[in-house]
C-alpha cells in the first residue's frame, strides 16, 4: 500500500547552534521541537506521535518524551545512523496512514563537537555483542579509512579523480557562503581541496564533513490537518528504504543501497529524474555524494565524476542544485546524523524560503536522500521525494 500523499510536512526547524557546551542533548531536542511547532502554528499538546533515533538522550524516546511532557499514542526510535531522519518522515507518514497518530513530531539533537568527537579518526572499538566486530575490529576500521577505501575503489574502477570529487566541496562552499550559521563559509577552489592535508588516501581534509553540535525538528500531519494550517503545503510523494552489507561475501564497493531505496521512492512518487528540481544528498564525504547520485539514477554508474564537475551542483549554475545550505561538508552535521538537515533544506526550497542567492526557481519537486553507517561495510539508505502542492 502506498503512502503517497498521506503525509504533509508542516513544520521544519534547524537549530542554529553549532557548538553548545552549555546545552544538554535533551534541551536541544526540546528547543528544536519548539521551533518546528512555532513554524507550523501548533502547540506541543497537538502532538500525538513522536519519532527519534539513537541520538536521543537517556532511554531513547521515553526520556525525551518525558522531558517535553508529551501525551502520545505512538512513538518510534528506529536508528539507522545518518539516514534515520529521512526514514522517520516515511515512518511517520505510514503511522498517520494507519491511524496510529495524526500529528507526528520528529526531533534530532546532539553535542559531538562539544564532546571532542573528530571526523572518524578514532578506532571503532570492538564489541563482542555486534555480529561483525570480532572479525573486523582487528583491522582498526574508522570512518575515514573505510570511506577512503570506497573512494579508492571507485577511482580504480572508473577513473574518478580527486579533482572531480573536489567539485562537490566547491559547490557546497558556494552555497554555504550565504548561510549565516554555516561553520565553513569561505568559498574554496578545486586546488584548495586537493592541496588540503590527506586524511585517508585518497580523501583530503576538505573532502570530509564538519562535526557540529545542534539538531532540528520536523512535523508531519495527515492531509486534512495540513490544509487547515497557514503554511505552504509540502507533500510526501514517495519514500524508499533499503540496506546493503557484506552480501554473504559478495562484496562490491562500487555501489550503495541507494540503488534500491531510490528506485522504490521514484516508483511510488511516479516522477522522473528530470522532474527533480533540487536534491539534498547526505554528504559525510565527497565520495558519498558522488556514489548516491549514480545509484539514485541521476547519471550512469562510473559517470559521477563527470556529472559533478564544472559546477553542475551549484544553484543557478548547474542542472542539479544540491545542499543549498552548505550541507554536512560546510554547514553542519549535528549528532553525526545529517539526514534531518537534508529534509529541512528540501522543505525550504519547496516553500521558496531558501536564501535568495541559492533558491531554485519554480522548485516544485525535491529529493532528500541519506546513508547511515559505512559505505564500505554495512549501511542503510533512505530516499524521500517531496512535492509542493
Query: What was the pLDDT predicted at 141?
Result: 73
Range 328-354 average pLDDT: 95
Predicted confidence (pLDDT) per residue in 187-216, tens digit: 999 999 999 999 999 999 999 999 999 999
pLDDT at residue 374 greater than cutoff 80: yes
Question: Mean pLDDT over residues 148-173, rounded?
Answer: 98
How large is the average pLDDT for residues 295-313? Answer: 97
Please indicate whether residue 246 or residue 219 has the higher confidence score (pLDDT).
219
- Does 219 have pLDDT greater than 50? yes
123 pLDDT tier (thresholds 50, 70, 90): very low
> What band does 247 get if pLDDT is binned at 50, 70 and 90?
confident
Q: What does pLDDT average to over the chain?
A: 93
Q: What is the pLDDT of residues 71-111, one digit of tens each?
A: 999 999 999 999 999 999 999 999 999 999 999 999 999 99
pLDDT at 263 over 60: yes
Least confident span in 38-42, 45-49, 133-137: 133-137
Query: Rounded mean pLDDT of 265-285?
Result: 98
Q: What is the pLDDT of residue 167?
A: 98
Q: What is the mean pLDDT of residues 359-378?
A: 94
Q: Is the pLDDT of residue 54 over 80?
A: yes
What integer pLDDT is reported at residue 122 of this predicted model? 46
Mean per-residue pLDDT, 116-144? 65
Per-residue pLDDT averaged across 159-171, rounded? 98
Lowest-confidence range among 10-14, 127-131, 151-155, 337-341? 127-131
In this prediction, residues 240-246 reach a mean pLDDT of 91
3-state SS of the chain?
CCCCCCCEEEEEEECCCCCCCCCCHHHHHHHHHHHHHHHHCCCHHHCCEEECCCCCCCCCHHHHHHHHCCCCCEEECCCCHHHHHHHHHHHHHHHHHCCCCCEEEEEEEECCCCCCCCCCCCCCCCCCCCCCHHHHHHHCCCHHHHHHHHHHHHHHHHCCCHHHHHHHHHHHHHHHCCCCCCCCCCCCCHHHHHCCCEEECCEEHHHECCCECEEEEEEEECHHHHCCCCCCCEEEEEEEEEEECCHHHCCCCCCCCHHHHHHHHHHHHCCCHHHCCEEEECCCEHHHHHHHHHHHCCCCCCCHHHHHHHHCCCCCCCCCCECCCCHHHHCCCECCCCHHHHHHHHHHHHHCCCCCCCCCCCCCEEEEEEEEECCCCCEEEEEEEEEEC
Mean pLDDT on 278-302? 97
What's the mean pLDDT in 226-253?
92
Amino acid at each position: 500500500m502506498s503512502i503517497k500523499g498521506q503525509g504533509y510536512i508542516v513544520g521544519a526547524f534547524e537549530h542554529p547552534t553549532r557548538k553548545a557546551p552549555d546545552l544538554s542533548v535533551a534541551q536541544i531536542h526540546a528547543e528544536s521541537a519548539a521551533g518546528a511547532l512555532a513554524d507550523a502554528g501548533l502547540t506541543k499538546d497537538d502532538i500525538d506521535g513522536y519519532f527519534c533515533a539513537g541520538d536521543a538522550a537517556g532511554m531513547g524516546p521515553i526520556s525525551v518524551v518525558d522531558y517535553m511532557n508529551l501525551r502520545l499514542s505512538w512513538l518510534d526510535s528506529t536508528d539507522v545512523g545518518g539516514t534515520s531522519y529521512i526514514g522517520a518522515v516515511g515512518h511517520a507518514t505510514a503511522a498517520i496512514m494507519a491511524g496510529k497518530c495524526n500529528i507526528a513530531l520528529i526531533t534530532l539533537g546532539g553535542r559531538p563537537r562539544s564532546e571532542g568527537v573528530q571526523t572518524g579518526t578514532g578506532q571503532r572499538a570492538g564489541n563482542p555483542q555486534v555480529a561483525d566486530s570480532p572479525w573486523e575490529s582487528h583491522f582498526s576500521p574508522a570512518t575515514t579509512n573505510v570511506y577512503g577505501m570506497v573512494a579508492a575503489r571507485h577511482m580504480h574502477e572508473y577513473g574518478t579523480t580527486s579533482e572531480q570529487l573536489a567539485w562537490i566541496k566547491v559547490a557546497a562552499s558556494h552555497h554555504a557562503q550565504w548561510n549565516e550559521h554555516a561553520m565553513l563559509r569561505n568559498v574554496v577552489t578545486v586546488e584548495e581541496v586537493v592541496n588540503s592535508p590527506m586524511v585517508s588516501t585518497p580523501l583530503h581534509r576538505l573532502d570530509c564533513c564538519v562535526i557540529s553540535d545542534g539538531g532540528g525538528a520536523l512535523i508531519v500531519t495527515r492531509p486534512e490537518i495540513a490544509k487547515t494550517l497557514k503554511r505552504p503545503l509540502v507533500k510526501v510523494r514517495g519514500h524508499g528504504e533499503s540496506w546493503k552489507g557484506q552480501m554473504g561475501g559478495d562484496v562490491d564497493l562500487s555501489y550503495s543501497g541507494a540503488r534500491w531505496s531510490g528506485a522504490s521512492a521514484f516508483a511510488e512518487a511516479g516522477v522522473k529524474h528530470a522532474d527533480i528540481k533540487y536534491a539534498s544528498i547526505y554528504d559525510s564525504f565527497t565520495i558519498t555524494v558522488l556514489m548516491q547520485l549514480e545509484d539514485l539514477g541521476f547519471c550512469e554508474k562510473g559517470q559521477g565524476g563527470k556529472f559533478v564537475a564544472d559546477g553542475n551542483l551549484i544553484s543557478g549554475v548547474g542542472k542539479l542544485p544540491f545542499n543549498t545550505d552548505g550541507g554536512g561538508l560546510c554547514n553542519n552535521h549535528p549528532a553525526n546524523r545529517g539526514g534531518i538537515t537534508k529534509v529541512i533544506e528540501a522543505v525550504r526550497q519547496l516553500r521558496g524560503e531558501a536564501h535568495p542567492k541559492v533558491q531554485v526557481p519554480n522548485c516544485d519537486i525535491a529529493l532528500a536522500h541519506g546513508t547511515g553507517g559505512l559505505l564500505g561495510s554495512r549501511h542503510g539508505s533512505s530516499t524521500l521525494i517531496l512535492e509542493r502542492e
